[in-house]
């Protein structure tokens, strides 16, 4: 399509926005109606939207609408799935870690598969593959039984039901800032690596004896980075299950700050090392964060709580796409990660306040 970076970001904006802001109404529906039907709707709606994107891939306006619909239906997944995990499984942090690991298999595979399919069949092929995978998911959801213990057993005690509203609101601010950092990083990574990893591209081209497209190497690198995130998710799930989750959350985010600032100064192999560190901890904190949501939110409203989380992380966080677009056009793409590092500095401050706010009674979230 030969579109510049700012135009691509503009086309994807509504998808990211709707992906986030629809999470709360989807979560509220799940708390009232249950999660089963909504899981099926997620797969069917996403399949139709992806196939529409394949059909209109050469029309920027129609592609924008198709991707917006994809974001709308994709917003169903997180509040429904994470709410089910938090209500049905005892070792919440560990389960969140495993869920995140499989999610990151998808994140890691997507750039690589998309790059390869785009190289061979063009962008429409990538959207057709996505639609086909959602059709398979819809079939599995319809055919496989889902038994929810919360529908057949008594609810937990009143104390564990109440949560801690003030702590949850503070956590929402932290998650919003984390969403800005995460979305900004994932959006800019492929273009950033294509620009800053030219030495790596040249090395692999020499190794195989033919010139490789820079975008193919960049998408492969992005996939590798998300595989590092899988290890981070596993570590985060284990650590959040063993240690106090508030302090674990603080440490994981604090480590991302120096890595983000240094990423603006290096290229090729040193840059990759820094990105591995950044991604390991930025993605690895997610099971810990989800454990804190489950800890502070009322259990009867867990779907809505996770929906609220993704409104602020992916909905408000989607404005980082506009922020990255502004930085790229006015300062340069090299400044994007230092700017995201500045966001993480504020995030660490909010987590410190959360720890202070809850320090009087850390063992009992309900007051």
| Position with higher pLDDT, 198 vs 348 | 348
pLDDT at 153: 46
Who contacts 15 (Cβ-Cβ below 8 Å, separation ≥6)? Answer: 67, 68, 70, 71
157 has a pLDDT exceeding 60: no
Mean pLDDT for the stretch of residues 52-80: 87
Q: Which of 39-43, 217-221, 296-300, 340-344 is the least confident region?
A: 217-221
- pTM score, whole prediction: 0.73
For the ranges 3-17, 151-165, 235-249, 263-277, the lowest mean pLDDT is seen at: 151-165
With a cut of 90, say whether residue 344 has pLDDT above it. Answer: yes
Question: Residue 91 pLDDT > 70, yes or no?
Answer: yes
Percent of the chain with pLDDT over 90: 16
> Distance of CA 156 to CAs 90, 201, 298, Å?
12, 55, 11
pLDDT value at residue 364: 47
Q: d(Cα 287, Cα 235) in Å, to the nearest integer?
A: 9
Q: Is the pLDDT of residue 303 over 90?
A: no
Is the separation of the CB atoms in 290 and 86 below 8 Å? yes
**Mean of pLDDT values over 97-103:** 81
Confidence category of residue 213, pLDDT binned at 50, 70, 90:
low
**210's tokens:** 């033919």
Structural domains in the chain plus CATH codes: 5-358 (1.20.1250.20)
pLDDT for residue 86 is more than 90: no
CA atoms in the 13 A half-sphere facing the CB of 184: 31
Q: Check residue 155 and give its pLDDT.
A: 47
Q: For residue 318, what are the CA distances in angstroms to 62, 164, 189, 311?
A: 20, 27, 15, 10
Q: Give the per-residue SS3 of the chain.
A: CCCCHHHHHHHHHHHHHHHHHCHHHHHHHHHHHCCHHHHHHHHHHHHHHHHHHHHCCCCHHHHHHHHHHHHHHHCCHHHHHHHHHHHHCCCHHHHHHHHHHHHHHHHHHHHHHHHHHHHHCCHHHHHHHHHHHHHHHHHHHHHCCCCCHHHCCCCCCHHHHHCCHHHHHHHHHHHHHHHHHHHHHHHHHHHHHHHHCHHHHHHHHHHHCCCCCHHHHHHHHHHHHHHHHHHHHHHHHHHHHHCCHHHHHHHHHHHHHHHHHHHCCCCHHHHHHHHHHHHHHHHHCHHHHHHHHHHHCCHHHHHHHHHHHHHHHHHHHHHHHHHHHHHHHHCCHHHHHHHHHHHHHHHHHHHHHHHHHHCCCCCCCCC
């Amino acid at each position: 399509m030969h579109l510049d970076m700012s135009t691509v970001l503009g086309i994807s904006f509504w998808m990211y926005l709707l992906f986030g802001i629809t999470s709360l109404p989807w979560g509220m529906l799940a708390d009232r109606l249950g999660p089963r039907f909504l899981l099926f709707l997620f797969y069917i709606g996403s399949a139709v939207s992806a196939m529409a994107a394949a059909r209109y891939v050469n029309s920027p306006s129609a592609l924008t609408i198709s991707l917006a619909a994809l974001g709308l239906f994709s917003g169903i997944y997180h509040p429904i799935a994470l709410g089910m995990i938090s209500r049905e499984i005892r070792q919440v942090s560990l389960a969140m870690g495993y869920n995140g690991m499989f999610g990151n298999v998808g994140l890691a595979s997507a750039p690589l598969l998309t790059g390869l399919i785009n190289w061979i069949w063009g962008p429409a092929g990538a959207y057709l593959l996505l639609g086909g995978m959602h059709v398979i998911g819809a079939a599995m959801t319809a055919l496989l039984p889902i038994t929810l213990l919360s529908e057949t057993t008594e609810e937990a005690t009143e104390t564990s039901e109440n949560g801690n509203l003030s702590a949850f609101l503070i956590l929402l601010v932290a998650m919003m800032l984390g969403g800005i950092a995460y979305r900004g990083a994932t959006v800019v990574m492929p273009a950033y690596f294509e620009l800053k990893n030219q030495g790596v591209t040249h090395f692999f081209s020499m190794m195989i004896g033919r010139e490789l497209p820079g975008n193919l190497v960049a998408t492969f690198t992005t996939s590798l980075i998300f595989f590092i995130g899988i290890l981070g998710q596993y570590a985060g799930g284990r650590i959040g299950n063993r240690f106090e989750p508030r302090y674990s959350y603080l440490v994981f985010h604090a480590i991302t700050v120096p890595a983000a600032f240094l990423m603006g100064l290096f290229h090729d192999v040193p840059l990759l090392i820094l990105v591995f560190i950044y991604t390991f901890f930025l993605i690895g904190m997610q099971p810990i964060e989800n454990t804190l949501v489950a800890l502070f939110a009322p259990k009867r409203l867990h779907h809505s709580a996770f929906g609220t989380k993704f409104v602020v992380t992916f909905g408000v966080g989607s404005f980082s796409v506009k922020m990255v677009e502004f930085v790229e056009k006015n300062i340069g793409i090299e400044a994007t990660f230092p700017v995201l590092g500045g966001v993480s500095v504020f995030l660490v401050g909010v987590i410190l306040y959360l720890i202070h706010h809850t320090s009087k009674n850390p063992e009992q979230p309900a007051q």
